[in-house]
Structure 1
């Protein structure tokens, strides 16, 4: 159930962020909440990575090793990042302890605070509803926390528990071979949520792939302000939609490519 919960959690956060993007719910005055949501997305992905590494399967061990070597390609502070990730120069006894502390304490605590901030800002600013271009300007919709907001989240939570129970029963997830540091698998693949990054790294050199990924993440964080500048100073008022469509095609395309190709 834990594995299925992680899969659904990451899928839900990605889909939610897409919904916010394509409905323009990141625009003024919601720029800060978009950035909080981006922090939650990154935390969710890191939680998935650390949890996957804690299983200590053959693929998860070598996946973590590959991730550490990728960090090493970052100019100036790559070596430091690798040491921080592995708690040393290479995978060692302290690495799993570090992953566990991050996975079970540091990241969940940070996510609880970010979720609290995210919901608090949402409660203050109201819910942004989708509107067509010819409709009147948006008026934020405010719902009472109790019972409206509370019962909505309760129903969603109970529904997800039922779905998770069914998935865990019908499609149980087993463990792979135990990690063997002396035997490198022929094919190393991360979990599906990192397929796009893995394929990107295979297409380009290490340093360029890492720096370009960092640049894309920076643009995503700053997108409310970039989009505001574009809308005010150019005629491309719907540029965000087309950029988003291209981004989704790349995301899905690279993910499927990595899923179906072994090397």
Structure 2
């Protein structure tokens, strides 16, 4: 009894706040797990943080030793291959789950007033996560990742007006070298995780403040209650999603472990340079266009995506019955998937 009293006095907990959170009403549509995937990216991010800390103990951010340190992790360190595979697959699954979540929000139009700013922070979170994946892939310093880094900084350098400054900032100079790897390491380990945590924090805060949009479907009118409690109902749904995500992650890591390619050689250009799959649409687009012109389209796409709630409001005002925003999204998804498949099977 004395210990419990001491703990209560030393670490006071607001019981009313806990009761309020646990009894918070959740819209009925979130009983369906495919509408409740918003927490999956957070799960995969936490896994990346844990496995990333393990990898830091062995990784050396130096051009002379980076590849050897990754080789040691992969071939010598106890379960190093598994930790590295889980880290890599968690990155891919985080991006995939973010894409699915953004598609759900887009096509259910839950970005509309008053949730415009939350959508914008979601887009920022997605872009930072893409950079998180790019910098992590580059740190391996194998042949493909080295040239992906070189091509990536070259594409950044083609950005109008500020391209040269961005490229030099990323490289730490005019060429790929020691400064580049050091900067990518700092981006990946310090700056980008901080930005992800910040964007996630603001995103979740706005969700808690504004509430979750209620979606109504055919048959829902028969239900007497429009909401259900956060605890234990929604916690149970999220727990199932987490368990399934972990099973999928471990299965992929065991069945398709991450391999290590050849050591980076700046003097030998690979016959076919391939980025990670989530950059395939942009990579294919740049293949069929001039670099200085082609780099503008992704920038315009990002601006449109970022400001979409306001563009959608314009469509609502001038074309209220034509679902222009919805069909614009469908056309965009078809185009992106077309470029993705083209890059996968094309040459």
Q: State the TM-score, normalizing by the size of structure 2.
A: 0.70
Cα deviation per residue 1:129-177 (whole Å; 9 max; x = unaligned)? 33369x99xxxx8776655555544443333222211111122121111
Question: Residue in 1 aligned with 2:241?
Answer: 156
Q: Does 1:180 align with 2:270?
A: no
Q: Does 1:131 align with 2:223?
A: no
- Aligned-partner Cα distance in 2 for 1:56–1:152: 40
Q: Does 1:105 align with 2:190?
A: yes
Call closer, same or farther: CA 1:142–1:108 in 2, change over 3 Å: farther
1:212 to 297, 302, 309: 297
Of the two, which has the highest radius of gyration? Answer: 2
Contact 1:127 1:142 in 2 (8 A): no
Root-mean-square deviation (CA, aligned residues, Å) is 2.0
- Kindly tell me the number of residue pairs found equivalent between the two proteins: 257
Call closer, same or farther: CA 1:25–1:176 in 2, change over 3 Å: same
- Aligned-partner Cα distance in 2 for 1:40–1:131: 28
Contact 1:59 1:188 in 2 (8 A): yes
Call closer, same or farther: CA 1:76–1:159 in 2, change over 3 Å: same
Question: Residue in 2 aligned with 1:249?
Answer: 334
Which stretch of structure 1 is more off in the superposition, 153-162 or 83-92? 153-162
Question: Residue in 1 aligned with 2:317?
Answer: 232
Q: State the TM-score, normalizing by the size of structure 1.
A: 0.91
Matches within 5 A, 1:64-75: 64-75=149-160
| Aligned-residue offset at 1:109 | 1.1
Question: Residue in 1 aligned with 2:169?
Answer: 84
- Aligned-partner Cα distance in 2 for 1:246–1:127: 27
- Aligned-partner Cα distance in 1 for 2:321–2:163: 38
- Segments of 5+ residues of structure 2 without an aligned counterpart are 1-85
Contact 2:315 2:325 in 1 (8 A): no
Question: Residue in 2 aligned with 1:223?
Answer: 308
- Segments of 5+ residues of structure 1 without an aligned counterpart are none
Contact 1:62 1:184 in 2 (8 A): yes
Cα deviation per residue 1:71-116 (whole Å; 9 max; x = unaligned)? 2222221111110111110101111111111111111111111111
2:278 to 165, 186, 193: 193
Question: Residue in 2 aligned with 1:166?
Answer: 251
- Aligned-partner Cα distance in 2 for 1:241–1:177: 45
Q: Does 1:3 align with 2:88?
A: yes
